[in-house]
Amino acid sequence: MSALIFSGGALALTGTIISNLFFTVDAGERAILFDRAFGGIREKIYGEGMHFYIPMFQKPITFTIRLQPKTIASQTGTKDLQTVDIALRILYRPVENQLPNIYLKLGLNYDERILPSVGKETLKSVIAQYDADQILQSRERISQEIRQQMILSAQEFNILLDDVSFIHLGFMKDYAYAIEQKQVAQQNVEKQRYIVQRDEEDKLAQIIRSEGEAEAAQLINQAVKKFGGAQIEIKRLEAAKQIAETLSKSQNITFVPSGSEGKGQNLLLNMRV
């Protein structure tokens, strides 16, 4: 019985020792080994899975190689001495084959040591080239310029930036109020310009109508002089005939009276016999 207990204990101890001789690298991670026997970091990079190591002499160091988000906020000055608050969101990851160098130069917290300073320096240098109005009007172009500069700067430290974008852009309260008032003034100017343009178009339309009426009256006078009243009477009768034909097609109208002076004949329309 004691032999069985001893054997079971030995197997458990052996299993524990063996399990401690391996380390696991999860998905989205990579590892390097610090080796005391060889005096430093080994160049080999370990991928996903289980890997052998000697616990007393070696220590696994794990990096995340997945994209990670980070927010960088800064307050800096424009070319016209306005203060602007900016916040950037970046997505970053380390250069996988440079993990040993990253650890030796920067450590595991490489992102905290490098990205805030790179972001703030880039914002300071780019924003200082533009007036506040230019930043508002050309936000997308300036964002691209900041993005390109940050990508190049981060690459010097073996860090890849997959995305850099503004998540906040604001000015001090006094300047923000001045911008709002300027926008209101511009809207009022546009409104007044529209009103003036509409009035001018109405005046032009009235002139055209007046000229048309005057020309029509002149043509009528010329017709009366040339043909007498007979031509005008013919036109009037033709118009009356057209109106009567239109009314006769309506099911709701059966009686059309003569003129207001009692001249002419009354008409009965759509009467069934």
The reply to whether CATH 3.30.479.30 applies to domain 68-171 is: yes
**What's the chain's average pLDDT?**
80
Average pLDDT over residues 42-65: 93
What pLDDT was estimated at residue 256?
Answer: 53
What pLDDT was estimated at residue 148?
Answer: 95
Match 């390109």 to its residue by tokens.
148
Please report which confidence band the pLDDT of residue 225 belongs to, taking 50, 70 and 90 as the band edges.
Answer: low
pLDDT digits (tens, 9 = 90+) for 72-127: 999 999 998 888 999 999 999 999 999 999 999 999 999 999 999 999 999 999 99
Average pLDDT over residues 118-139: 91
3-class secondary structure per residue, the chain: CHHHHHHHHHHHHHHHHHHCCEEEECCCEEEEEEECCCCEECCCCECCEEEECCCCCEEEEEEECCCEEEEEEEEEECCCCCEEEEEEEEEEEECHHHHHHHHHHCCCCHHHHHHHHHHHHHHHHHHCCCCHHHHHHCHHHHHHHHHHHHHHHHHCCCEEEEEEEEEEEEECHHHHHHHHHHHHHHHHHHHHHHHHHHHHHHHHHHHHHHHHHHHHHHHHHHHHHHHCHHHHHHHHHHHHHHHHHHHHCCCCCCEECCCCCCCCCCEECCCCC
What pLDDT was estimated at residue 13?
Answer: 46
pLDDT digits (tens, 9 = 90+) for 243-267: 766 666 665 555 555 554 545 555 5
Please report which confidence band the pLDDT of residue 273 belongs to, taking 50, 70 and 90 as the band edges.
Answer: very low
The percent of residues in the chain predicted with pLDDT above 70, rounded, is 66
* Cβ contact 64:99 at 8 Å: no
Q: Where are the domains of the chain?
A: 13-64, 68-171, 173-221, 228-258
- Output the CA–CA distances (angstroms, integers) from residue 1 to 9, 10, 54, 92, 162, in the order listed: 12, 14, 35, 60, 64
What are the backbone angles phi and psi of residue 4, rounded to the nearest 5°?
-65, -40
pTM: 0.60
- Output the CA–CA distances (angstroms, integers) from residue 237 to 55, 68, 271, in the order listed: 117, 88, 23
